[in-house]
Structure 1
Amino acid sequence: MSPDYSLYLMDAGLESVQNYLAFHVLLCLIPAFFLAGAIASLFSKESVLKFFGADAPGYVSYTVAAVSGCLLAVCSCTVLPLFAGIYKRGAGIGPASTFLFSAPAINILAIVYTAKILGYDLGAARAVIAILLSIVVGLSMALIFEKKLSGESKGIKTFGADEHKNSAYLFILLLAILVTPELISTDFYLGVIMSALILVTIYFSRKWFTKEELGEWMSETWFLVKQITPLLLLGVFFAGIIVEILPKEYVVEFVGGNSISSNFIAATSAALMYFSTLTEVPIISVLTILGMGEGPSLAMLLAGPALSLPNMIVISRIIGAKKASVYISLIVVIATISGFAYGMFIAQFQ
């Protein structure tokens, strides 16, 4: 590789990062970081996890398992110890598998970023389909492996309502700050409304929470920024290089269009790769530019956050190789079918 070509690729990567740091993206990501930080620090994990108790009705445990990723703000790494905990404490393989698949896929940062970069249709499809199919995965695992529960309960005993109502109110305010730039296009009105929302959020945050809680919120937000942003920028940088070096015809041949094979290749590739939080989005964005279809894009978004080689090893150690192999196969198959169905649905409106 000549020095001139190397510099050209470096420029392509840096230009990709520069475009990523555009104002409209920052308006999306900065509120999302504060929202994720608030969720991680001010929402009680215990108040959510207790819904997995052995005495909780199935419809409660599966529903909470499917949607709790939004409230727990976990990624594919941090979900593993939570999964191990609720499984070993009596949640059962069904709800635990639902939680394991859904939680990383509906991480609030991931959903917001997907919608912003890849389009709101794909962002919404990622969230809704991940929630619905996580229940399918959980029920399938329970049907295959779970025996009738005995009268003994191994762990979490009770379930009930979250006591932290102020956290829910804060969630609504931060969500309003997050979506307002997408609803208002006029700069003047956007500035006025955003300023008002930010001031109201600051006022009620100081009223509702102690200095220690606010400090924990800011600390958690800064931790997420430090943990995610460097890897995300690195992913964007290499995504810019991929555009220049990856032959477009290869992308079109293997993951173009909307065949079963293209969706299967996309799902399998994503399952074997390791995506740091959010980095799947710029990479998939580049692949769509090079010709990847809508269906395979969704297949990658479903399988990528849920699986990786390190993730598979840990899951095998927690639930055993047999259960893990079935779980992994279910994810790949379901991601393939979902991508294919989504691609067909989108094609009807194009």
Structure 2
Amino acid sequence: MVCDEHNRNPTSRIICLGEYLSAHVLTCLVPAFFIAGAISVFLSKEAVLKYLGPQAKKIVSYGVASVSGSILAVCSCTILPLFAGILRRGAGLGPATTFLYSSPAINILAIVYTAAVLGYDLGAARAIGAISMSLVIGFIMATIFRGEEKKRTTSMAAAVSEKVEGGLLGKLSVFSLLVLILVVGASKIAPTPKVVSLLLFIVLLIVCLLKWFTTEDIREWLGETWSFFKMIFPLLLVGVFIAGILQVILPQRIVEVYLGGEGILPNLFASIIGALMYFATLTEVPIIKTLMNLGMGRGPALTLLLAGPSLSLPNMMVIGRIMGIKKLIVYILLVVIISALVGYAYGNIF
């Protein structure tokens, strides 16, 4: 969580929930909801189908999905509105799942921070492992559910996109400013320049909206944003609270003991822990550094880096609502098992 990982009493969990609301929601999730709404309204459905749809060349769709989150400093929860947005707009399940997994794990800031704190080998292994895993997981998901996805994407491709004004320059300006707001909001820069930058970007965003878009376009965008908020945010709150409780009742000494060594069991245990815990952006690195100082192996450390940022209990609850329980179960199993295998291979080779 955002707060000190050593403070494990129940009151601190409530405080952490408050920190999540004040620091994480305002700077990360709110911009993500607005971006998701913009994807649903302003982004051409034809463009999504061209680059991320089931008929797109796989090297293009999976390639774009696997690296497109590199500039976004997002966590497993912040990525959810964006995932829902591109899925609703017609992206295939495979590329959308690739984007869902890779984005929280491969943003440039996280990779650089991992290399600086945990070593360049772990930083490189995290980047290569996350991109490779995202491609494998996305392809397997698309293969398993190809029948259901064919029906969904066919109906989407047949639907007529609604007319939205603004032109390419207007849409590009709005998306660029929304991404800048998200990136700056999630950054660790000093409060004063952060607030000044955010206010400037927000003013420019308002100017662009008024210049290039109609009142009806803006109203539709806000309506889609509110729709994503209602669908996702309540479940995130419940999930973050439950994850905090789990961190209280899970004995820390047991975690330390079972994460030692480079065998398959420590890696599997690390993968399961990573799947259940919630890591705010970048907080996984100091937590893993602490566990390594207490004896955690390098293989389980990589496993936690691969499973933790891309899965969490709050994240699971929302994914199940977005794409269904069957797909959720398969996705969780793929992330947990493949993360453990990659960590095991890394720990025993290096």
Structures share fold, TM-score greater than 0.5:
yes
**Aligned Cα RMSD in Å?**
5.3
Deviations 1:36-85 (A, max 9, x none): 332233223442123467875443243245457899x76799599879x8
- What is the one-letter code of the residue matched to 1:19? E
- What is the one-letter code of the residue matched to 1:48? V
1:281 to 261, 279, 284: 279
- What is the one-letter code of the residue matched to 2:304? S
Deviations 1:191-241 (A, max 9, x none): 433322211111002212222221122122223333333322323323333
Deviation, structure 1 residue 120: 5.3
1:264 to 264, 268, 272: 268
Deviation, structure 1 residue 115: 7.2
Deviation, structure 1 residue 176: 1.8
Looking at structure 2, the residues matched to 224 and 143 of structure 1 have their Cα atoms a distance apart, in angstroms, of 27
Give the aligned partner of residue 62 of structure 1: 62
On the 8 A contact 2:303/2:342 being kept in 1, the answer is: no
- What is the one-letter code of the residue matched to 2:180? A
Q: Percent identity?
A: 34
Matched, 1:20 2:20: yes
Q: Which moved more, 1:230-239 or 1:8-17?
A: 8-17
Deviation, structure 1 residue 119: 9.6
Gaps (5+ residues) in structure 1?
A: 1-7, 88-95, 147-153, 158-162, 274-278, 317-323
Relative to 1, partners in 2 of residues 1:217 and 1:172: Cα closer, same or farther, differing over 3 Å? same
On the 8 A contact 1:16/1:239 being kept in 2, the answer is: no
- What is the one-letter code of the residue matched to 1:59? I
Looking at structure 2, the residues matched to 137 and 170 of structure 1 have their Cα atoms a distance apart, in angstroms, of 31
Give the aligned partner of residue 91 of structure 1: none
Q: Which aligned pairs between 1:1-350 and structure 2 lie closer than 5 A?
A: 11-23=11-23, 26-51=26-51, 56-64=56-64, 66=66, 97=94, 99=95, 101-106=97-102, 121=114, 129-137=129-137, 164-181=168-185, 182=187, 184-185=189-190, 187=192, 189-255=193-259, 259-267=263-271, 280-281=278-279, 291=291, 294-301=301-308, 304=311, 314-315=326-327, 331-339=335-343
On the 8 A contact 1:37/1:220 being kept in 2, the answer is: yes
Looking at structure 2, the residues matched to 82 and 307 of structure 1 have their Cα atoms a distance apart, in angstroms, of 18
Q: Which moved more, 1:59-68 or 1:119-128?
A: 119-128
Deviations 1:124-144 (A, max 9, x none): 987875444333456689999
Looking at structure 1, the residues matched to 62 and 97 of structure 2 have their Cα atoms a distance apart, in angstroms, of 12
Q: TM-score, normalised by structure 2?
A: 0.60
On the 8 A contact 1:79/1:103 being kept in 2, the answer is: no
Gaps (5+ residues) in structure 2?
A: 1-7, 73-78, 116-122, 147-153, 159-166
Looking at structure 2, the residues matched to 223 and 216 of structure 1 have their Cα atoms a distance apart, in angstroms, of 10
Looking at structure 2, the residues matched to 35 and 80 of structure 1 have their Cα atoms a distance apart, in angstroms, of 10
Aligned length: 298
Looking at structure 2, the residues matched to 69 and 50 of structure 1 have their Cα atoms a distance apart, in angstroms, of 18
Larger Rg: 1 or 2? 1
